[in-house]
């Protein structure tokens, strides 16, 4: 019998996570898993439980929560043999979207059970992580405007997440009007790039902006290469235009956007950096940061179907049918 822990964040998302977590655990139990269920208390507790699960040599840690909870679990799991299983119970759940897992909504409260079933039927693959300032990340790390907004807006109270799109958009526009970009000197695998940018995003997945945009359509989870996107601008109008370009896919051919693949990255600015990791604010006061790719540093549970090519040995895939 396979052994695992399932942890859930009661503050994540807008749904009764405890009840839904228990239902997901029961699905796993009927498919050969011995599951212990834990409620998390705070961010450090998520990392502690993940590390404990790995130290006990369990096969997997299942996380019911959003991208922030998943990121905190990664910090306790990476480098171990214990696999991460993502059960989307947060607000945006971008990484779950990347894997093609069904979304949890008020009209689809059994989606978490479907996710558990898909993972139980799936496989375990090794995926790359990034390390920004010695903090591992799974999705992306960013400096500049996106990190500035994350620092200004997050964390939000649970009741605020019920109005997530409207409140986040309004808060973003209000705060973005005060941001003027930053001068950056970037050294990517020895290649030097300099300029004035609104944002610098380092990532390993295709999706961005809550899943609204496909920033790096070709991104693979296990190729040992991350993408750095540098978006130019210095005012609110530029910020809105860059965002619309990314959502529409126009950034791929825009002269205001530059993509730099890398294994190791050094960024230096003339001002202290705002830093976000997996869309969560990070306390950071320095003017420079190093980002390194950690090849295949995490075991990840992959559903039996997923929407696109995620791995180097994958063929192209059709969008799966998640209809009930």
3-state secondary structure of 292: strand
Q: Is pLDDT at 166 greater than 60 in this prediction? A: no
pLDDT greater at residue 286 or residue 108:
286
Please state the domain extents for the chain.
Answer: 2-122, 135-296
pLDDT for the residue 154: 66
With cut-offs at 50, 70 and 90, classify the pLDDT of residue 55: very high
Cβ-contact 25, 6 below 8 angstroms = yes
Give the whole-angstrom CA distance, residue 160 versus residue 125. Answer: 35
pLDDT for the residue 172: 63
Highest mean pLDDT among 16-20, 57-61, 168-172: 57-61
Query: Which candidate, 13, 271, 70, 228, places its Cα nearest to that of 141?
Result: 228
Tell me yes or no: is domain 2-122 CATH 3.40.50.10330: yes
The architecture CATH gives domain 135-296: Sandwich (2.60)
Q: What residue ranges in 98-169 does DSSP mark as E strands? A: 123-132, 135-137, 140-144
pLDDT for the residue 163: 45
Residues 153-170, mean pLDDT to the nearest whole number: 53
Which whole-number Å values give the CA distances from 110 to 36, 113, 116, in the listed order? Answer: 20, 5, 10
What is the percent of the chain where pLDDT is above 70?
A: 90
pLDDT for the residue 179: 81
3-state secondary structure of 177: coil
Q: Over 219-252, what HEC string results? A: CCCCCCCEEEEEEECCCHHHHHHHHHHHHHCHHH
Q: Is pLDDT at 313 greater than 90 in this prediction? A: yes
**pLDDT tens profile 266-276:** 999 999 999 99
Give the whole-angstrom CA distance, residue 38 versus residue 213. Answer: 34
With cut-offs at 50, 70 and 90, classify the pLDDT of residue 10: confident
**pLDDT tens profile 21-51:** 999 999 999 999 999 999 999 999 999 999 9
Q: Is pLDDT at 324 greater than 70 in this prediction? A: no
Residues 298-304, mean pLDDT to the nearest whole number: 97
Give the whole-angstrom CA distance, residue 147 versus residue 197. Answer: 13
Cβ-contact 292, 131 below 8 angstroms = yes
Residues 57-67, mean pLDDT to the nearest whole number: 96
Cβ-contact 7, 73 below 8 angstroms = yes
| Average per-residue pLDDT for the chain | 89
Query: Which candidate, 11, 88, 89, 80, places its Cα nearest to that of 51?
Result: 80
pLDDT for the residue 74: 98
What is the percent of the chain where pLDDT is above 90?
A: 72
pLDDT for the residue 80: 97
Residue with tokens 């109270």: 157
pLDDT for the residue 170: 56
Residues 233-248, mean pLDDT to the nearest whole number: 92
């Amino acid at each position: 019998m396979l052994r695992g822990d399932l942890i859930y964040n009661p503050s994540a998302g807008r749904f009764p996570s405890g009840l839904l977590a228990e239902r997901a655990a029961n699905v796993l139990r009927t498919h050969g898993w011995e599951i212990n269920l834990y409620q998390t208390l705070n961010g450090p507790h998520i990392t502690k439980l993940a590390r404990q699960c790995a130290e006990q040599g369990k096969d997997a840690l299942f996380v019911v929560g959003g991208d922030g909870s998943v990121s905190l679990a990664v910090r306790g799991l990476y480098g171990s043999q214990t696999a991460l299983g993502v059960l989307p119970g947060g607000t945006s759940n971008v990484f779950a979207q990347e894997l093609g897992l069904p979304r949890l909504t008020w009209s689809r409260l059994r989606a978490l059970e479907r996710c558990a079933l898909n993972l139980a039927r799936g496989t375990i693959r090794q995926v790359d992580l990034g390390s920004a300032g010695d903090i591992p990340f799974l999705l992306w790390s960013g400096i500049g405007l996106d990190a500035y907004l994350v620092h200004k807006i997050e964390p939000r109270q649970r009741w605020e997440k019920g109005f997530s799109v409207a409140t986040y958009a309004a808060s973003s526009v209000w705060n973005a009007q005060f941001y003027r970009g930053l001068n950056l000197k970037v050294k990517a695998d020895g290649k030097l790039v300099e300029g004035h940018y609104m944002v610098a995003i380092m990532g390993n997945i295709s999706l961005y902006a809550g899943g609204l945009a496909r920033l790096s359509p070709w991104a693979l989870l296990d190729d040992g290469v991350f993408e750095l996107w540098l978006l130019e601008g210095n005012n609110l109008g530029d910020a809105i235009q860059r965002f619309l370009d990314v959502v529409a896919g126009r950034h791929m051919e825009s002269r205001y956007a530059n993509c730099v693949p890398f294994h190791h990255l050094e960024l230096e600015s003339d001002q202290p950096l705002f830093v976000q990791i997996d869309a969560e604010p990070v306390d950071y006061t320095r003017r420079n940061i190093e980002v390194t790719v950690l090849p295949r540093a995490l075991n990840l549970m992959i559903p039996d179907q997923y929407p696109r090519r995620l791995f180097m040995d994958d063929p192209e895939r059709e969008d799966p049918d998640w209809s009930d």
